[in-house]
Each structure stands twice: as C-alpha cells, then as structure tokens.
Structure 1
Amino acid sequence: MSQRLDRRTLLSSSVAVGAGAALAGVGLAPAFAATPGKNAVVLGGGMAGLTAAHELIERGFSVTVFEPTAWGGKARSIPFAGTGSGGRADLPGEHGFRFFPGFYHHVPETMRRIPFGSGTVGDNLVAATGGKFLRGGDHADAFVFGIGPDPVSLLTVDGLRRYLLDNLGGHAVPPHELVYFVERLLVFLTSCDERRLGQWEKVSWWDFVGAAKRSGPYQKILAAGLTRNLVAAKETIASTRTIGNMGEAFVYNIMGRGNDGALDRVLDLPTNEAWIDPWVTYLRGLGVRFVGGQRLVRYEVAAGRIVAAVLADANGATSRVEADWFVSAMPVERVLPTLTPDVLALDPGLKGLAKLQTDWMVGIQFFLRDHADLTKGHITFIDSPWSLTALTQGQFWEDRTISRDYGDGEVVDVLSVDISNWDAPGILYGKPAKQCSRQEIADEVLAQIRDHHTMGDLLPEGIIHSWFLDPGVQWDAGTLRNINETPLLVNTVDSWKSRPTARTKIPNLLMSGDFVQTDIDLATMEGANESARHAVNAILDESRSTAAQVKTFRLYDPPEFKLLKQTDKLLYKLGQRNLLDVI
C-alpha cells in the first residue's frame, strides 16, 4: 500500500513565495549563484516545466522555475474551496481526469524517479481493467473494445484485419462500411514514415476514412466518436498522420505490443497527492527553486542570445532575471505574446506558432452521495453531443475513504467527466457549452450521460451532492459566452511544419510544451514530458556537457511490418499508392 506523505511537507512553499516577493520588489534581480554556464530558468511549472527542472537539476544545473498560476498546470488536482469540514480536506476537483495508456513511456519513467513513502510515485499507477463505449437514446447496445488477450500471435495484415473487425464490429455500423474503415486503417498502419508526413499529414481524418459518403453510424461511431473521445481531436480538421499515429498506438497498446504497463492506468489518489506535490517536494530537496505568481512578459535579446527574462506578478510589478539557459515551458497561447520582433528576428520559424489552433477539453466533477457501479475504467458516451468521457475515481483511491477524508462527510464517490466538444448544441438547452452558464453546463452534462444505456438508473435523481467545473472556464456577461484560460492544442491538417522543435535557432532558448514536435505528436502530458527531455538534451549539446543525455522513447513499430514499410517507402518515392490503398 502506498504511503501518504505528510501534508505540511507537501504544501510548504513559504520559501518560494518569499523568493517571488523579493524578485518583484527589487525590479532588477541578478542571476542566482551557479556554476558559470549552468544557470537555467524554466518558464512554466506544468508538465513540461517540472520535467525540464527534474532533468536539469540531476545533471548539475542550477534551476529556477517561474509559474504564474499553479504547479502542475493542467495535470494538477484543484481543491474545491470551502467544501471540507470536520478536519477533512476540500473535495478534489481537476482540469480533467488522468489517463495513462500503456504506450506512455516518458511520464511513467519520470514518476518512477520520484520518491513516495517507501516506494515511488510510479507505484501510484493502477490498472483500470474495465472500459465501456455506451450508446444513447434507443441504442441499447454497449461494447467493450479490446479488453482481453491478444489473439494475433504473429502480426500480419490478414491477422490484424480479423482482429480489428472482431473488436469494432457489432454495433450499428453496416458491415461493408466496417470493412472499408478497417482497410483504411491497414493502409495507414503499413505506410512508411515518409508517406505519413508527406501525404497523410496533409489529409484530414474525415477525408481519409471517407466519412462524408458513409452512413450516420459510421460517421458518429468510427470517424468521429473514436477520434473525439479517445484523442480529443476534431475529425474534420485533424491530420490523418496525427489520428493514425494515435490509433496505431492504441491498437498495439490493446495487443500488449511495446507497452510500459497496463492498457489503461489511473492514479490511486488525487493527482496532487499522488504525484504533483511529491514531485515539487522532491525537486525542491534537490535544489530547484520555485517562484510562484510570476509570468513571463518578454525576453531581452543581445548578441544573438536571450540575456534576461522580464517577469510580472499579479499586480503588474516587473522583475528581471538573467540566466545562461531559458526553457519556455508554457502553452502555445502564452508563448505567442512573448515572441517579440527581436526574438522572431533571431528565429523567424517561430512565426509558425501563430498558425496553430487551440480548442477546449475541460472537465467537470460530480460528487456523489452514493456509489455508482459503472465500470472499473473509463466510459465513452458515444452519442453525447459534447463527446463526453468519464471515470468514477473512488474505486481507485484504495488508501482513501472519500467520506472520511474529503468534503463534509456526505460524498462517497467522484464522477469525473471530460467535455471534448464545446461547440455542438446540447440536448437540454440547445446551446453549445461555450454559450451555457456553469449551472447549465452541469445540467446538460448530466442529461447527456443519463441519455445513455442504463445510466439513468445508475445516476438517479438525488445522487448528486455538488459539482465542480474547472475554474479556467469563466462566464463573460458581456458576450454571453464562456472564456477558457486553459485551451488545448489541436492538431490540424499540415500543422506539423508550423510547430517548433525543442531546439530553436536562438542557442540558449529552448521550447517545451505539448505543441512542440515530438514522436507522440498529440497534445498530451506525455508529449509535454517528451518535449522537455529534448529541450534538456539540446542544452547538454550546446553547453558541451559530459552529463548523460536524457532518455527518450519512440512509439512501438512492429518488426513484422518492416518490409511492408520499406516497400511503401519506394512506392511513395515513385509517386505511387500504398499497396493496400486500392479501394
């Protein structure tokens, strides 16, 4: 059983707060004392920033992390203020539920290097052994995709075809259309990397799978449902390369090919308790300095390099910090204002960031007065207009009794729901989520969930104690719309070329974050972690450090398809189709 760290240890941050106040007060802060050439500033304390700090401090660098809002970023849990009583903690809200598929390698590797009790944070990853895709309205069928042993002992095109047909079949999609969809998947799975980047990056997933010419169930379940609910991408604008890469990863994940761990993993405690607080505590113990309440305003440039970062606190008071290395670890929408003309003059390629698009994927938690026996895993509500997915969390928090440890003693479980489509009209009010009040969002989400098979019985009236919507979503009375402080990058057709690598043309400015080019190629905490590792490796190269390079991983590539992909590479070079692209 994982042991709980002392709360006072995890939450102690007076040193960081004091440092932030001091910096803001003087207006001009010298660089922190460090070995010459090894003073690094990390701008952002989310997944990318904490990863960069972790890898740098272990390699002998002096590291200071600046963060305007909260450590952990979108990955953190968020206390529902004022809900705790009788010595209990506030109820745990969050931006959205955590999901660690088996093909994640970077994040779990980091977690296993963070002490927790007598083990590591990695011990807090537990398998979610269930998982359902539910239909709504008159569609009473529910199905489980891919849970069970891999029947394909030798990976061949024919064997994989049978496997996909067996797992995707039996739920309203006409058989001939299912065959077509599987054949399209096989085209992608046997495409070489050059074709994926040169051809499929420039085609939308909707067009690649021929959705416009096929039935409603095909569009809803296969073209849109699996796309929006599994990878939070818009099927009509997302590149086939991105969706195909993730679809491939999920397929091999289900088959146990190249996995780090179980098919689907979650945390056995609220995220901050299980991961973020122990991580910050560990890094602080190693010497990382954390300064909260500070956001980057701009960089100062001289002699082709960044010489200082100008920061501001919540009141607008600015300070100036010098360093040898600057790691940008902010989301793309916060990076853009810092790309001033003098920065872009040094690296004009960063102008491409302005072409990237963001969208909303935000969570809401319903705190329940009774246990809801839904499934031991994630649930996808296929027919929900807002593309809802959910998880009941209490069943995984084995070291916690929610009624004992959180809230007012009446809450026994937490239903955490992700809303992936904020632009579709709902079924209660006929409005998209972006135009609904916070109460309307909560009502609408419940109505869409209860519209699915058996959910009305499992979530009866009176079971809801309270709810918590990510505070990043706020109602704007002037425009009668919501604003969102925490949008998510969406991978659009041909956007890869607009995304930077971790190494920029400015020698001491590194980019990290879920928008940076990575192997996983999707806005995820795994991608953010990977990008930070590349950024640190670039610093090691530029500084000619003798420290070991940071380990990085690549998505699984089955050796059985190596010859097929080599053949496809030749066909692509000759301007011809993939061998299986015959329909």
Structure 2
Amino acid sequence: MGRAGSTRRTFVAGAGATAGAVAAGSVAALGKAQTATAAPGAEARHAADSVAVLGGGVAGLTAAHELAERGFAVTVYERRALGGKARSMGVPDSAKGGRRPLPAEHGFRFIPGIYHNLPDTMRRTPFPGNANGVWDNLVAPKEMMMARTGYEDLRIPLPWPGHQPAQLTLDDIRRALRGLLDAAKGLPAHEVAYFVNRAVVFLTSCDERRDRQWEATPWWDFVRAERMSHTYQRLLAVGVTRNIVATKAEEASTRTVGTLGEAFVFNALGRGADGPPDRILNAPTNEAWIDPWVTHLRSLGVEFKVGWSVRELRYGDGRITSVSIEDPDGVRRNVTADHYVQAMPVEHARPTWSAELKAADPQLARCDKLETDWMTGIQFYLTERTPILHGHLNCVDSPWSLTAIAQATHWPGRDFPADYGDGTVRDCLSVDISEWDKPGMLYGKTAKKCTREEVAREVWAQLKAALNDTGKNVLRDSVLHSWFLDPGVDGIGTPNPTNEDELLIHPVGTLHHRPTAKTKIPNLFLSGDYVAVDIDLATMEGANASAREAVNALLDQVGSSAPRCAVIPLFRAPELESFKRHDRLRFRLGLRNLFDLG
C-alpha cells in the first residue's frame, strides 16, 4: 500500500511531482545518523527477559529486530506467513522445468521517500553484495500515469537526481501533450485556483486545527467537490481518497488526506526526503526483502513459530498472564513470557481482548470504532511485456478504483521467463482493487458479489477500458496467460464474503480512536498500522514506527539503559512554522485560517 501500505499512494506522489517539480541536486536522507543500536552488553542485561511478539508482519518483524538487538529473548508467533500483508508468495502449481512459481502478492509494495523509519530498518538488514543492505534493492520508477476513460491518458515524469528519463517516441510525446491539454480543459482555472487555496489553508493550519477541525471534516467537503466539475471530483476528490487511502471522499478525514498530500509535495521538492517520491523493490518482495530480513533475525536469536494463531490474551492481577494460541495442529496452548508485543491487524487483535482487558485500558475499547475496508490485489501474467509505462498506473475512472504496475521492467536482475512459471510468462501486471462495493462494467455487480473468475474478467475489462480507449492497443486478450487473486479473499459471489487482510480506513474521527503503543497493562504493548504514530495512514511505515514506539515503551517499563529506537517524524517545513503559530492563535480565538476563503 507499502501500499501497502498500502500500499498504492501513487496519485498523490504524481500530483506532488507535477505541482512542485523536483529540486535539482542531491538530497541527504533525513535521520540516518539518528539510528540507535544496542549498546555492548545488552545481551547480558536482558538475557532473562522474554518477549512474545504476536504477529509476524512488518510491525512484528520490526519489534523483533529492535528487541533482539537489545538482548531480549524473542519469539514471534504468526498465524499464516512471515511478512503478513507485505509478503509475496508463489502461485500454486505454476512452477515448471526447475523454475520458481509465478510471483504473486497481496498488493504491490510502494516505499516512497516520505518514509524514514522503514528505510532505516532496511539499511540495517544485510543483503549479499549490497553496501546498504536491503535498502539498495529499492528502485525508482521514472514516471506514472493517470488513465482517464474517454480521454488521453496523462503521463507524468518523475525526475530525480541521477535518474535517466523514460525513452519516448514521437507518438508518446504527442499523447503526453494531448493528455495535459485534456486535463487543463477539464479543470477550469477557477477550480484549480480554489484547490490551490485549499492546499495553502491546510499547509498553514496549526496542529490543533488539523486534529480537531480538519479531522472532523470530510475531504469532499474541504475541497468543495459538490460544487465542482466532474473532472475536479474524479481527480482531486475521489482519486485522492478512494485510490490512495481506500476510503470514500465523502467520509475521509481531511487531516489524513492533507497530511499525506503535504508529505508527498515536499518529497517531490526534495525536502526532508529519504529518496524519490516513488520507490519499489527490484524483485518479488520476499526475495528482495522479507526472506533476508527473517534470515538476519534468526542470526540475532529470534525464534519463529508460523501457523500459530492467537485466540485470547489472558488477563489477571493487572497483567497479561498468558496467551491462548492455537498451534498448527489445532491444539490450544498457553504461552507465557515476561512481556507481550501484540503486532496484529486491528480486526484480528480485537477478538482477542476480553471485556476485562478492555475495561483495564479504555483505549482498547475505543478500537472497536476503527473501521476497515477491502483493498486487495490481483496479478495478471502476460506472455509479452506490456507497453504501458515505466511506473505506476492509476485508472482514475475505473468503477473499482484500480491502480497497477507492470513489474518485469523493474526487476532487472530477473529473467522472467527463465526464472518463473512455465517459461512463457514475460511480465506480471499487478493490480490493486480499492473499491469492492460498486457495480462493475461487465456484470453490473459489486466485486464482493462476483465469483473469483468474474472479478478477474471484470478487472481485465476495466483495465482495457482505461488503456485502450484512445486508439492505442495496450492490452490484448491474446497475451493473457493466467491470473491470481489474493487467497485472503474468500466466499465472494456468496452471501458471506470474507477478507482476511482488510485495510484500516480513515473516516472522520478516526484519529481519536487510535491507541498508543503503550497500554495501561504493564506487560502489554501494541504495534501495527492502526496504532497512533506521526504518519496518519495505514502503511508499512506506520507499522514500523509503531513497533519502535512499542519497544521504547517496553524499555521504559523495565528501566533499561539500552538506547531507544529512533522514531523519525514526517518532515515539517520550517518556513511554515510561523504561519502555524499565527493560526494556533486564530484557532483558539474561534477564527478561521487566515487564507481560508470559505
């Protein structure tokens, strides 16, 4: 969503790059020198302290990493597969002739330059031949595209120091100019000016106004979408929310959408960036990142128990006394440790909390108000390379809010037909479906009401409608080899569809329901993308930062002298701080922001 986190935030990245251009010159990564590592002797100090990490996704692996470096005895319990929603997987029965299975995933990984904590962990994860560990496996796409059905697609370059621009034909240049003119024609000047004003209002708003007024204001209302043109609504209201935060513009918190947009704009301007606005891995996620990470954690002494499902946190005498966990054979076991870091998605954590536990810490009860929605990936395997673009694709007008990327061109170290599948597949088009409750084009049904086969056919049709609508035959049925839909989705096409991997969404008020990493139970700490951290979005960065917060809270609880984990916040432009101080006074006086024209 990296994506996702998820996850999938390419629209804002492109908008930031377009609005701000990209400052020339190199940009030093923020916070590299702030990383804290375990002090000598930490192992001896904490040899008797055991920690059960409940969950083996990005949050759980990060917590295990930080704890193991500080000498704790760590065991990770994961119900399904290490890496969680971030992992890649093989398509069953697809490997032939000694090749690996076709690579699949819950959704494509996206690790933008606004992230700092996750890249720090990646630098500290060794990878053979890489001076900067797994971090060196990040590559930056050269462009992105907003595909408008019935309009020329808008192709946006993403320049960055050291980047080689994408090669363009004369036809590409002609289409790019038409796309820009179509966008300009569809967006009246007064609407552009108004949206820019709204951006200025948010940029100069103080934290109090953001946390109270803008957290309570839907993005749709903030940008006055109801009064604007269809193009404005699709690009600047619906596109920013449904395709990126997997929530509806009519409901999404302005604080969440604005905070993310602000971060991407400064990233595109080269301010406070770890790297380019758009980065992906140069191989399937497990090959480039998760497997080397797990190998490194094993070398630090971390023990993994995969296939173990947490059922209940047992509470008594003011503490967690044990955890009831079902092992791979279906046998319930009581697991005990000195400390517990619960690193599970909120929808899986909530059923493990008893009424007594939630009464002991009311912030756990408030988590019942957090909302999740479906954002799930499907991969199409093609017998030819796709001539779409070198980067992410946003199908702005697609009924199911599709975003996608053709992966083979970004994996230079992989010979796709030689390495994967049966030798005939040359590319993987990885697609995220963000809208599961709106009727599609072919069957007039929502994605949840379609069978798996109908979902695949519908998504393929929506992709072709977005890409083949202006005379360029980008996708052809004859090159489609096969497809793979995330196995976490089950029962679609029946009255009771389920999704094992839902995504936290951000309707108004969500901020005030998110818990902190430290709980009122002295041996329980929370980690996950729903925990309150600086990046107000369900992302891998949020999962990583929350794990660092949880470890720091644990260290404080035991009075450890080990160095605390660095938790690097989002960049704040110093030149805006005076405006925010002025706005704080206006907010406390009950006045609107100085630039707010209403």
What TM-score results when the alignment is normalised by the length of structure 2? 0.86
1:182 pairs with 192, 196, 202, which one? 196
Superposition deviation, residue 499 in structure 1 = 1.0
Match of 1:362 in 2: 376
Match of 2:506 in 1: 491
Superposition deviation, residue 140 in structure 1 = 2.0
Q: 1:324 & 1:92 partners in 2: Cα distance?
A: 39
Q: 2:539 & 2:523 partners in 1: Cα distance?
A: 25
Q: 2:532 & 2:181 partners in 1: Cα distance?
A: 32
Change in Cα spacing, 1:116 to 1:146, as seen in structure 2 (3 Å) is closer
Change in Cα spacing, 1:222 to 1:67, as seen in structure 2 (3 Å) is same
Residues 326 and 509 of structure 1 are in contact (CA less than 8 Å); yes or no, is this contact kept in structure 2?
yes
How do 1:192-231 residues align onto structure 2 when only pairs under 5 Å count? 192-231=206-245
Residues 112 and 279 of structure 2 are in contact (CA less than 8 Å); yes or no, is this contact kept in structure 1?
yes
Q: Does 1:464 align with 2:477?
A: no
**Which ranges in structure 1 are unaligned for 5 or more consecutive residues?**
1-32, 150-165
- Residue type matched to 1:554 in 2? P
Which deviates more, 205-214 or 267-276?
A: 205-214
What TM-score results when the alignment is normalised by the length of structure 1? 0.89
- Residue type matched to 2:477 in 1? E
Q: 2:389 & 2:459 partners in 1: Cα distance?
A: 19
Q: 1:110 & 1:134 partners in 2: Cα distance?
A: 35
Superposition deviation, residue 490 in structure 1 = 0.3
1:108-141 alpha-carbon deviations (Å, 9 max, x no partner): 11111111112211111011111111111x2124
The CA RMSD measured in Å over matched residues stands at 1.9
Change in Cα spacing, 1:148 to 1:292, as seen in structure 2 (3 Å) is closer
Q: Does 1:238 align with 2:249?
A: no
Q: 1:71 & 1:171 partners in 2: Cα distance?
A: 48
Q: Please state whether the residue corresponding to 2:322 is helix, strand or coil.
A: strand
Q: Does 1:53 align with 2:67?
A: no
- Residue type matched to 2:566 in 1? K
How do 1:301-380 residues align onto structure 2 when only pairs under 5 Å count? 301-380=315-394
Q: Does 1:508 align with 2:523?
A: yes
- Residue type matched to 1:484 in 2? N
Superposition deviation, residue 559 in structure 1 = 1.0
Q: 1:266 & 1:403 partners in 2: Cα distance?
A: 21
- Residue type matched to 2:481 in 1? H
Superposition deviation, residue 219 in structure 1 = 1.1
Residues 41 and 64 of structure 1 are in contact (CA less than 8 Å); yes or no, is this contact kept in structure 2?
yes
Which deviates more, 571-580 or 232-241?
A: 232-241
How do 1:32-47 residues align onto structure 2 when only pairs under 5 Å count? 35=46, 38-47=49-58
1:517 pairs with 508, 526, 532, which one? 532
1:36-83 alpha-carbon deviations (Å, 9 max, x no partner): 762111000001000000000001111000001010000000110100
Residues 169 and 178 of structure 1 are in contact (CA less than 8 Å); yes or no, is this contact kept in structure 2?
no
How do 1:446-461 residues align onto structure 2 when only pairs under 5 Å count? 446-454=460-468, 457-461=473-477
Residues 34 and 62 of structure 1 are in contact (CA less than 8 Å); yes or no, is this contact kept in structure 2?
no
Match of 1:139 in 2: 151
Q: Please state whether the residue corresponding to 1:291 is helix, strand or coil.
A: strand
Which deviates more, 357-366 or 208-217?
A: 208-217
Superposition deviation, residue 434 in structure 1 = 1.0
Q: Does 1:89 align with 2:100?
A: yes
- Residue type matched to 2:488 in 1? G
How do 1:130-169 residues align onto structure 2 when only pairs under 5 Å count? 130-136=143-149, 138-144=150-156, 147=159
Match of 1:255 in 2: 269
Q: Does 1:540 align with 2:552?
A: no
2:138 pairs with 101, 111, 125, which one? 125
Superposition deviation, residue 500 in structure 1 = 0.4
Superposition deviation, residue 527 in structure 1 = 0.6
2:586 pairs with 568, 571, 574, which one? 571
**Which ranges in structure 2 are unaligned for 5 or more consecutive residues?**
1-43, 162-179
Q: 1:388 & 1:301 partners in 2: Cα distance?
A: 43
Residues 371 and 412 of structure 1 are in contact (CA less than 8 Å); yes or no, is this contact kept in structure 2?
yes
Q: Please state whether the residue corresponding to 2:516 is helix, strand or coil.
A: coil
Q: 1:337 & 1:313 partners in 2: Cα distance?
A: 18
1:538-580 alpha-carbon deviations (Å, 9 max, x no partner): 0011111111100111111111111111100111111111000
Q: 1:555 & 1:476 partners in 2: Cα distance?
A: 38
Residues 45 and 71 of structure 2 are in contact (CA less than 8 Å); yes or no, is this contact kept in structure 1?
no
Match of 1:158 in 2: none
- Residue type matched to 1:472 in 2? G
Q: 1:228 & 1:345 partners in 2: Cα distance?
A: 35
Q: Does 1:69 align with 2:80?
A: yes
Q: Please state whether the residue corresponding to 1:354 is helix, strand or coil.
A: helix
Change in Cα spacing, 1:81 to 1:282, as seen in structure 2 (3 Å) is same
- Count of residues in correspondence between the two structures: 533
Which deviates more, 88-97 or 439-448?
A: 439-448
Q: 1:349 & 1:118 partners in 2: Cα distance?
A: 45
Q: 1:110 & 1:454 partners in 2: Cα distance?
A: 41
Q: 1:349 & 1:261 partners in 2: Cα distance?
A: 35
- Residue type matched to 2:541 in 1? E
Residues 307 and 324 of structure 1 are in contact (CA less than 8 Å); yes or no, is this contact kept in structure 2?
no
Change in Cα spacing, 1:287 to 1:36, as seen in structure 2 (3 Å) is closer
